[in-house]
Structure 1
Amino acid sequence: MNTLYFAYPGELETPTGGYGYDRKIIAGLEDLGWQVELVPLGAGFPFPAAETLSQAQTVLEGLPAGAQLVVDGLAFGVMPEAASLACGRLDLVALVHHPLCRETGLSEDEASGLFESERNALGHARHVIVTSHATATQVADLFGVAEERITIVLPGTEKQDFAARGSSGKLKLLSVGTVVRRKGYDLLFAALDGLRECDWHLDIVGGLDADPGCHAALLQQLSGLGLTDRVTFKGAVAPQDLSGFYRQADVFVLASRYEGYGMAYTEALAHGLPVIGSGGGAVADTLPDGAAIYCGTEDTGKLRSALKLLMTNESKRLDMSAAARRAAEALPDWRDAAAQFAVALGGVRR
């Protein structure tokens, strides 16, 4: 039996795309007969307390020599010393969802520090697994990781039963993503401000605790715009409950500034939703023609135009819904993703 140690920061059940990817890959590897040993590293990453970082390093030092270890990039990128010590005795694999230094809202010093830290850490990894072609390019270009040391394992998408959509009065908009600045909710609110004459309501599903200051600023923005009663923050929901929000929506919109992949977009496609998206990174590659409208990065004018089109044109929504279902059929499922992950791991064993 193949044995893998999987190290992660924080709580594995955290309802975000990155943690969701981790959970699905772990479950898929176990279905393939792997024994996966979970290795929690503590909270606070990518800015952990010194004590947390020291304890995480001690945990890795306690793993058996020759073991194969995957470390989630949210932690790996700030553990260059631990990576240096581990690389000689472990098969060390980094899982990078997106470069830490590309997170929105970092100061210049924070971004520079994360860049140097992640570059040094990745230099000690035997292999790097990334979740999109865009991230693979960034890992190679930013950090100088050779292409042969990088494997792309796209997230899977669960197939869904198709529910036909038609006119139902008030248009139900849905966004899914943790409430942080990178998700661009402020941009979305600014775009919606010009569409008061349309009958719509926006539900936002995503954790509110990652950046309380961002949440407070968004509430203030809504109040200033007079849109408080047209937007509802639902908070984080359990993964098994998320599908219900997709099924009840008419249009999915996420005005991200950057995404390493954007699992919420493909989940929306699988539910037959027309999609409006924006941002750098992998977003443009994730959104298929016909099923989605890509609005560039931080362009509220394009966002407003796309929203108005789908708010006022039911025929267009129905055409995009059908195209979304066709596009979803071509997406890999989680069995495919786990199998590709297993092949990548097998290829880097000593």
Structure 2
Amino acid sequence: MKDYNEVTIYDIAEKLNLATSTISRALKDHHTISKKTIAKVKKTAQEMGYRPNNLAASLRSKKSKAIGVLLPTITQPFLSSLISGIEIAARKAGYSVIIMQSHDKHKDEVDLTKLLYDHRVSGVICSLAMETEDAAHFQLFKESAIPLVFVDRVPKGFNTYRVVIDNYIAGYKATKHLIAQGCKHIAHLTIGSEFGTIYHERKRGYLDALKEHNLEVDDKYVIRVKEITYDEGARAVKKLLSLKNKPDGIFAPGDILGVSAIQTAKKMGVKVPEELAVIGFNDDPISRIIDPNLSTITHPAEKMGQAAAEIILNSLKSKTKDDIREIAFLNTEVIERESSKRN
């Protein structure tokens, strides 16, 4: 069987001894073609591995080049900045960017990978959906030698390019900052499954910082949220502040969760930072608007986007297969603001 990229309507026409115009119309369910012929053409096309090549003419003439970007959403500031970095690098190289959103749904992510493949994108950059626990649907890109880069939310056990920060160190730094401010009972909000690595690693950094300073590790202070939203943050913080022994610090692995923690605490009569110190993650614009301003961890989204796009572009230019590699941005830093500043 020929490779997907090699099978054309001419191949199907030759096999069935039909005109190419008949094949083209049959594949589009044209009313001038009998149902019997349509069924025969589609069955043969499937057996031969044919896929509709929506951008074939433009790609053959090299007038249109596109990088597919598949993200949970474009509304989060971190992901918006990531897109900006991708677009800047792609545009300089003469490539366009196709952006699709999974809305953190596994099924949508699977469907969108197929759609990107059918559009014959030159490469794919993806940050996994929260629901995703199996990356098998990305295998079609690897099998077709289409460069694939995972950014930020990356899968375990899938050998391809990655652009990440050291989430373990970042989680450790955030927790150590709260410890340095005198916090003794530090809570943590964690997210998602163990398949995606970033929140697992931030949690691991949190736990190791507590152990290193001989502080209590208590399961009741670790709350799993379903998604990174204000309402989920409020639900988790209400639960924490209803405990008999309330936490005196919260590490939230997303700024919207940190903002929710501050406002929920204030509504419950808990003073921030005097009674509850809070640190978020990403340095989103909202962290500088909330009162008190939210302490946070830097997350170089635009640089990560540029790095991901450059991996795609370099891979497309290379005549030899590059070794799979990971680019890690290690210089995440604590930005100390009023929400955690006690000393």
Regarding TM over 0.5, the answer is no
Larger Rg, first or second structure (1 or 2): 2
